[in-house]
Structure 1
C-alpha cells in the first residue's frame, strides 16, 4: 500500500472515530436533557433521533397509561394527530400515478349527490386546504355518518375554492372518502394493505381500540386517562421504528415520485400546511419535512433535514405543548451550540 493511500486510510479512520465519539457524547447530553425534562414534568413519551443517517437516541420515557403501573417501551404505538393525514395525501398521489384519479378532478365526480359546491372543489384544493369548506361542527359530529349529514346540508362555502387557505378536517374527511370510492375498500384497509405493508411497517394501527396491545394511552396532568374514540375515522398510529421508516419513505420517494411529493409538501402559502405538513425541495430532493399533530392529550412532531441526515421524532401521550421547544434543544445539542 502506498504512503498516500496509507495516510488517507489513517485520516479517514481518525475522522470516523472523532465522529463516533462526538455522536456518543451528543447522545449522552440529549439523554440527560430528556431525563431532566421528564423529571420536571415536561415530557412523557418516546423519542427517536437520527443524525448523519444513524439512530443515536431511541428512548421511552415515562408511563404508558394513567395507571402509573405500566412503563413505556419503544414498541408502544401512539396517535400522531394530524400527521396521520399524510397517509391519505400520499394515497391520493399514488392513485393519480396509477391513473385512477387526477388531483384536478372535482369532488362532485365522486359524490354527485353533494350540493353544488362540490362542482367547484378539486382534490388539489382538499390537499392544500384551500377548498373553502368550513370546519367540522365538533359539537354535533360524533361519527362519519354525522359528518356526511352535515356536508349534505351545507349550502355555502366560506370562500371561493383556491382563493384562500383554511386548515380543517373537512378536507381530510373527503380525501379519505374519495380514496374509498375509487378503490372500493375501506380507508383503513387501504392504508394497511397499500401503504404500510409496502413500506415494511408491520406494527401500524388505524383507529385502534381498547383491545389493541402496546397502544400508549393519553392522559392529562392529573392522570385522567382519555378514551380512544374519535369523531371521524382513519387515524394511523405508529411506534418509533415504523415512524422512522415512514419519514425515510417520504425522503426517498418509495411510494410516490418527486413530482407527486412536491404537490403535497409545498403549501399554498408561507406558514401554511399541505398534505405532508410543510417542507422544502430542491430539484428532485426533499430538503426538509416538518409536521406536527395532536389528538386529545397526544402530541407528535416529525422533523427531517436530509442534508444533515437528521430525523427527530417526538411522540407524547401527555401533551404539554412543547414538542417544538424540545426539538430545538435537541438540534442545538446536535449542532454543538
Structure 2
C-alpha cells in the first residue's frame, strides 16, 4: 500500500521527463500539479497560452474545466438543502414555475443524478440561457419517466443552476462567486470568461483554430491550478457542505454512472477518493484526489488530446515506485 513519505528529486525528475516528453510529442499543452500530504511535489507548465502564441503558460493561467464545473451547481443545491430552502424531493415545478406540466414529475434528485428525462439541449443551436429556457418551454413530453434511466444531460445542469438563481434571487454566477469562491479564498476563479479577460488559456485544435469561448449556457467556472486544488481540498474537508451531503452527492443512479461530483468514495465522514474529468471543446481537465494516499493530481490542457487519463496513470506509477 502507498505510504506517505517525503518525496525528493527522485520523484520530481521522472514526472518532469514524462511531461516534457508528452509536450515535445505534441500530446500535452497545459498545466500539471502534483500535491502530496498538502505539499507541492511537482508543478509544470508547458506550451503557449493559445495556438501560435509566444506567450507561455504559467500556473496562474485559468482554464475551462469542462464538466468538473458541474460540481459547483451540485454543491450549491446541497448548500440550499442544508439551509432548508429546498428538498431533493421537491418537484422542479416548485422552483421553476414557467415550464410545462412535465416539470411536476421531475424531482431535484433526478436532476442531480441525470435521470430527469428532459431532452438534452440542442447545444450547437443554443444561443444563451434565455434561448435554452424558451426551447424547454416548447418541449411537450419527456424522453422517459423521471428516475428510471440515466442520461448525462446538460439540461439537468441548466435546471440546477436555474433553481439556485430562482431561490436566491441572484444569478448562479454571482452565487458561485459570492457564496462559494470568496468564502473558500479562491481569488482568481472566473465565470464564463471572454477573450477580453486576462490570464485565460484559450483552447485550440490541432490545426491551430481557437475555440469560440462563448458557452451555449452560462455557469462555467474557470480555475487556475492553485484555486483548483483549493476547491478539491474544500470538498475533501467539507468546508461548504457536510459529509452527509457530500456522500449523498456521490451516490450514482447505478454503478458506473456519473454523479454531481463525478465519482468518489467515502468511509464514514472521510473522503477516500474523488475523481472527475471534464471536456469543453478543446479544453480538458482531470482531477484525481486519493486521500488514502495523501495524493492529488490536477491536469489542465487547452489542446485536447484525450490522454489525461494515461498521463495521470503514469504519474501515479512514478509516485508509487
**2:35 match:** 50
**Is 1:315 aligned to 2:300, yes or no?**
yes
Task: Using the TM superposition, name which of 31-40 and 108-117 deviates more.
Answer: 108-117
The 8 Å contact of residues 65 and 218 in structure 1, kept in 2 or not, is answered as: yes
CA displacement, residues 49-91 of structure 1 (integer Å, 9 cap, x when unaligned): 1123321011111110113311000000000000001001000
| Match 1:296 to one of 272, 281, 284 | 281
**2:110 match:** 125
Structure 2 unaligned residues grouped into runs of 5+:
none
**1:331 match:** 316
| Match 1:77 to one of 28, 50, 62 | 62
**Is 1:99 aligned to 2:84, yes or no?**
yes
**Post-superposition offset of 1:226:** 1.4
**Partner Cα separation in structure 1 for residue 8 and residue 83 of structure 2:** 42
Q: Which structure 2 residues correspond to residues 15-30 of structure 1 after superposition, within 5 A?
A: 19-20=5-6, 22-30=7-15
| Match 2:214 to one of 218, 229, 232 | 229
| Match 2:193 to one of 202, 208, 218 | 208
In the superposition, the TM-score normalised over structure 1's length comes to: 0.92
**1:10 match:** none
**1:163 match:** 148
Q: Which structure 2 residues correspond to residues 2-41 of structure 1 after superposition, within 5 A?
A: 19-20=5-6, 22-41=7-26
**Partner Cα separation in structure 2 for residue 255 and residue 99 of structure 1:** 15
| The structure with more helix, counted as a fraction of residues | 1
How many aligned positions are there? 319
**Post-superposition offset of 1:251:** 0.4
**Partner Cα separation in structure 1 for residue 66 and residue 16 of structure 2:** 25
**Post-superposition offset of 1:194:** 0.2
**Rg larger in 1 or in 2?**
1
**Partner Cα separation in structure 2 for residue 116 and residue 23 of structure 1:** 61
The 8 Å contact of residues 265 and 289 in structure 1, kept in 2 or not, is answered as: no
Q: CA RMSD in A?
A: 1.3
CA displacement, residues 82-103 of structure 1 (integer Å, 9 cap, x when unaligned): 0001001000000111111111
**2:72 match:** 87
**Partner Cα separation in structure 2 for residue 314 and residue 144 of structure 1:** 29
**2:101 match:** 116
Structure 1 unaligned residues grouped into runs of 5+:
1-14
